[in-house]
């Protein structure tokens, strides 16, 4: 018995190595831990690309939020440029929040999360892999789309690298913080509002430093300090958030 | 020395009786201290040389703000104890803390706004401390929302405990990032004086109020805890005995 098939996709999650298998694992150059995490990551990416419509939703939402501000405030580029960091980050935060609902929901419904928890593999690593997949599917596209939104708000092209970097790094932290909220609200019906109530206060430092980095990128100032603070938040998230999210997933399965 | 006293704290009937016995020991000193502190603060203490009588709101505002953080810490510690050692009573303590803490936070916000109107000329200023306090209120509301959203008591206990622990890691980060954000956007406000030394006639009532609020929190917590234990153990036989007695 080498693994449990996940009923939805047939992708096999390796079970904990039996004593006889231990030598096989030791022979491969990667730990079984990372193998399992890589398989979970690949599975999530594959599933996401089969439902491309869902992938586009957060991006379309982000574009819509950006569009609201010129319509609601003023079409003058000089004024829009001033509020561009806030618009970009509020949009990115809301778009990533919108995407969070899909992070664990399908896997909780079809029992995949339960299989993960029973597989004997470290649930923390599997959850981390899912979060990485989530970032690749929402955070990274948002970072790549942010310059487009910024240009439409009258920001000069020189700011593009700084904007991409700040949204890319900041969204890592957002995905990780969000994974805790998404795991805690598993199984609650209509959890959207609660999920935002849990996640938004914890995401505020990311918003503050991200908007600051973006603002400095637009005005051409030195944005190293806020970027490093964003990176620090992301690293703190990488070390602690998967533990908390895995604990929350386990609680939801009890 | 044995640890039986500690283990007994995990037993709902024992805690229920203990809370009833301890409540007056918190409630009476709290009432005396708060009445004394209010008398000292509102009547005996002289008006501030800059703020006049407006400063007197500090006797409610500062203890409320202090309690809002202390209750959150108490809640997180109780939640962690419940999560690690699986003690049901600890979860009941955490659950009882949340509404009290949210009320203190709300009181701190309202009194802060009332103080801001004559001092800053506006009810709401995006001052780092007020902003942090507002975020703390959202953290409390999120905690209570999660508790209300999960129907199974055990799951609701453990999930909200994870949230409380995550929150306690985040509170300092949020506070410092907000302080940093504000110092970038706004020059220090007029009220930001170098910490003045307080006259004893002003300080003593404040300390009395601080201690009084802390004891008041203890008393309310004990009363709420009894209610929480009753509702959790509603099908247990020891409650039927109490009710029939």
Alpha helices by DSSP H, listed for A73-139, are 77-109, 112-118, 123-134
Is the residue at A232 inside a domain?
yes
Task: Indicate the number of domains in chain A.
Answer: 1
The verdict on B163 touching A (C-beta cutoff 8 Å) is yes
A205 or B179: which leads in pLDDT: A205
Q: β-pairing, A3-5 with A12-14? A: antiparallel
Is the residue at A20 inside a domain?
no
Cβ-based neighbours of A175, under 8 Å, separated by 6 or more: A96, A131, A134, A135, A138, A139
CB contact (8 A) between residue A197 and residue B135: no
pLDDT tens by residue, A146-193: 999 999 998 888 999 999 999 999 999 999 999 999 999 997 888 888
Structural domain that includes position A108: 31-253
For A185, which residue in chain B has the nearest alpha carbon? B146
Is the residue at A6 inside a domain?
no
Is the residue at A104 inside a domain?
yes
Pick among A201, A206, A215 to test the B interface (most B CBs inside 10 A): A201
B24 phi and psi angles, rounded to 5 deg: -60, -30
Q: What is the pLDDT of residue B185?
A: 56
Is the residue at A36 inside a domain?
yes
Looking at this predicted complex, what is its ipTM?
0.83
- Min distance A184 CA to chain B CA atoms (Å): 6
Nearest to B206 by CA among B4, B10, B28, B48: B48
Is the residue at A105 inside a domain?
yes
Residues A233, B170: Cα–Cα separation, whole Å: 10
Torsion (CA) A65, A66, A71, A76 in degrees, nearest 10:
160
With contact defined as beta carbons under 8 Å apart, do A234 and A172 qualify? yes
The verdict on B181 touching A (C-beta cutoff 8 Å) is yes
Is the residue at A11 inside a domain?
no
Is the residue at A13 inside a domain?
no
pLDDT tens by residue, A6-58: 444 445 555 544 444 444 444 444 467 788 899 999 999 998 888 888 888 89
- Mean pLDDT, rounded, of chain B: 87
For B181, which residue in chain A has the nearest alpha carbon? A208
């Amino acid at each position: 018995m080498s693994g449990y098939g996940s009923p939805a996709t047939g992708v096999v999650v390796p079970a904990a190595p039996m004593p006889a298998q231990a030598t096989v694992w030791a022979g491969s150059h990667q730990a079984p831990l990372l193998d399992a995490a890589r398989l979970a990551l690949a599975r999530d990416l594959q599933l996401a690309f089969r439902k491309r419509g869902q992938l586009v939703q957060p991006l379309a939402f982000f574009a819509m939020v950006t569009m609201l501000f010129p319509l609601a405030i003023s079409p003058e580029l000089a004024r829009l440029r001033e509020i561009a960091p806030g618009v970009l980050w509020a949009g990115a935060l809301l778009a990533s929040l919108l995407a969070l609902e899909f992070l664990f929901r399908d896997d909780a419904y079809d029992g995949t999360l339960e299989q993960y928890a029973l597989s004997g593999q470290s649930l923390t690593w599997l959850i981390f892999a899912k979060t990485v997949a989530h970032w690749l599917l929402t955070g990274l596209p948002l970072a790549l789309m942010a310059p487009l939104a910024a240009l439409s708000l009258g920001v000069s092209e020189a700011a593009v690298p700084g904007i991409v970097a700040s949204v890319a790094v900041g969204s890592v932290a957002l995905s990780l913080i969000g994974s805790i909220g998404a795991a805690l609200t598993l199984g609650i019906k209509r959890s959207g509002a609660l999920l935002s109530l849990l996640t938004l206060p914890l995401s505020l430092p990311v918003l503050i430093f991200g908007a600051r980095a973006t603002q400095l990128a637009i005005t051409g100032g030195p944005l190293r300090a806020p970027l490093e603070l964003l990176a620090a938040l992301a690293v703190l998230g990488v070390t602690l958030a998967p533990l908390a999210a895995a604990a929350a997933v386990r609680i939801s399965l009890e | 020395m044995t640890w039986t006293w500690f283990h007994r704290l995990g037993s709902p009937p024992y805690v229920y009786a203990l809370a009833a016995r301890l409540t007056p020991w918190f409630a009476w000193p709290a009432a005396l201290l708060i009445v004394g502190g209010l008398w000292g603060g509102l009547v005996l203490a002289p008006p501030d040389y800059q703020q006049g009588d407006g400063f007197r709101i500090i006797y409610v505002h500062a203890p409320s703000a202090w309690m809002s953080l202390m209750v959150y810490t108490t809640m997180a510690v109780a939640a962690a104890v419940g999560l690690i050692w699986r003690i049901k009573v600890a979860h009941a303590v955490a659950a009882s803390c949340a509404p009290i803490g949210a009320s203190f936070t709300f009181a701190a916000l309202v009194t802060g706004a009332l103080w801001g109107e004559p001092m800053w000329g506006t009810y709401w200023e995006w001052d780092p401390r007020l902003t942090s306090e507002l975020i703390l209120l959202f953290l409390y509301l999120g905690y209570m929302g999660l508790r209300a959203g999960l129907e199974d008591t055990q799951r609701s206990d453990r999930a909200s405990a994870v949230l409380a622990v995550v929150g306690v890691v985040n509170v300092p980060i949020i506070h410092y990032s907000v302080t940093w954000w504000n110092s970038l956007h706004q020059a220090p406000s007029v009220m930001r004086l170098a910490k003045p030394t307080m006259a004893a006639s002003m300080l003593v009532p404040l300390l009395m109020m601080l201690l009084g609020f802390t004891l008041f929190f203890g008393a309310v917590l004990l009363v709420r805890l009894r209610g929480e234990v009753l509702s959790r153990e509603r099908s247990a036989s020891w409650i039927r005995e109490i009710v029939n007695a």
